[in-house]
Amino acid sequence: MYLTLSGLTLLAVFIVYHVYRYKPRLPPGPSGLPIVGNIIDLNTQELWRKAHHWGKRYGLRVSRTPIIFLERGEVAMELLHKRGMYYSDRPHLTMAGDLCGMDSLTPLIRIDKLKLERKRLGQALSPSATKKWRPALEREVMALLRNLHQSPNDHVAHFQRMTGSTMLRVLYGYRAQSANDPLLHAAEEMMKVTSTAMLPNWLIDFLPFYRRLKSNLQSVISRLRIQALTCGDKDTGEKRDCFCGTLLLSNEDEPIVSPELENRVKWMAMSLYGAGMDSSVVTLTQFIMLMILHPDIQRQAQEEIDKFVGPHRVPDFGDRDNLPFVDCILKETLRWGVPIPITPSHRLIQKDSYENFEFPEGSLFTANIWSMLHDERVYTEPLEFRPERFLNEKHQAEQQGLPPFDPYTRCPGIHFADQSIWLAMARMLACFNIQPFVNHDGEVVLPEMIFDGGAFRQPKPFKCRITLRRKGVLSTLQE
């Protein structure tokens, strides 16, 4: 009887505590389940689109952790940028960190180390520093063109080979021997695990008692711990000029740093590989799909290339200023396609408020990049693919007094990614006609605009035709 009374008393205290305890004024959100909160809502396919429909600012709660989606650029600028010293920490992700062994990846490290790493990344990946890798980019893009000519329906695999080989060369000074290079395959496997493990919908990330579970997923990551000091080609100096070599080696190819810093540089390189690999492949795949669906835009870009570059060579970096419409296609592909639609979560290190809302310490904030780049206040007809918007239209955000917001400017590797994607797009447009697939019955099969619901907005597989624009192109590809 005493045990029964004690149990009822504890239950009553528990109920009273949860009913009358102080609750901050969070943004409205859907009602959740006991204990697990809104974890089911976070498992929605294309979470970024669902969050956009939920509202302009919408909060969810998983277990005891508030999660707030930031839907507008000016809110993200205010909280994540202007108040960045309070919002730049990262949550502890049990799935990605403890179980998959990826807690040292740059997107997952805590605020005390993040500032130093961003400084190192900014130095090694500045616009001037990345120019030395242009010859490697040009070689890989020419190999991509040859592969696309031979087997156009394997375009995703060709983009993966080009991007993966380029990243290994730039980061580690390692030249992939072929499309079947074991490091390329290991890296692709690691990217699949990483993109899935970092999604914000794992219940284990919010329930601490699950953290005792063990996993063998760490073996996947360990295969990618490439020895930066031994991957390079010692006869060409590529080891010294690569990202790791720039930070770790002297002019005599001798280590100049501590083992601790060497370990951090390796993890930074792995982080860059993951971000650059997946986002570039997704962007180029979206580009192929968009050129098929918008042949008039493709022809306009080809006419621009023919006018300023001519038929006897392919565009190079020196031609970029003369090809503004090609530049607009790149910008609009990133805006319309949004390869990374939501950001990794930011953790608030102390309680804060915004407008009429209060956020307790430990709240998580996720920027919905898809929503910001489809804001009707900023972009006319945002669901339409219109590259000319960057050529002709005056920026609507400036007209309405909104602060400019570009989610890509804060990415340390944006300069290198921009160069590689632009060169691939420009040369594909110069050499090929990108057309829809025609089946055995002579029916045109257009790609469906259906995307994976993971961390990257990868289109579902589709077939296409990629044909030479003129006879002389083939000799150019074989040079």
More confident call, 44 vs 146: 146
Q: What is the mean pLDDT of residues 401-411?
A: 56
User: Nearest-CA neighbor of 78 among 349, 400, 353, 409?
Assistant: 353
**From edge to edge, which strands make up the β-sheet containing 57-62?**
57-62, 65-70, 364-367, 346-347
- Identify the pLDDT of residue 421: 95
pLDDT, tens digit, 9 for 90 and up, residues 55-104: 554 554 444 678 888 888 888 888 888 898 888 888 877 777 777 777 77
Mean pLDDT to the nearest integer, 358-381: 88
Indicate whether this model's pTM tops 0.85: no
Q: Quick one: pLDDT at residue 388?
A: 92
Which residues make Cβ contacts (< 8 Å) with residue 208, sequence separation at least 6?
none
pLDDT at position 42 is 60
Does the pLDDT value for residue 139 go beyond 80?
A: yes
Of 435, 142, 460, which Cα lies nearest the Cα of 285?
A: 460
Q: For residue 465, what pLDDT is reported?
A: 94
Domain coordinates of the chain in residue numbers? 23-478
Q: Is the pLDDT confidence value at 209 over 80? A: no
Q: Is 9 exposed, middle or buried (0-12, 13-18, 19+ CB in 10 A)?
A: exposed
Distance CA 405, CA 408 (A): 9
The number of angstroms, rounded, from the C-alpha of 448 to the middle of its chain's C-alpha atoms is 22
318-324: Cβ within 8 A, 24+ apart: 319/426, 320/422, 320/426, 323/426, 324/391
Neighbours of 330 (CB within 10 A): 20
3-class SS at 286? Answer: helix
- How confident is the model at residue 111, as a pLDDT? 67
Q: Which of 30-34, 253-257, 312-316 has maximum average pLDDT?
A: 312-316
Least confident of 34-48, 80-94, 145-159, 275-289: 34-48
Hey, what CATH topology would domain 23-478 get? Cytochrome p450 (1.10.630)
Amino acid at 3: L
Res 226 pLDDT > 50: no
235 — pLDDT class (breaks 50, 70, 90): very low
pLDDT of 307 higher than 80: yes
Higher-scoring residue by pLDDT: 67, 178: 67
Segment (H or E) for 172: helix 155-172
Query: How far from each other are the two terminal CA atoms of the chain, in whole angstroms?
Result: 91
> What's the confidence (pLDDT) of residue 384?
95
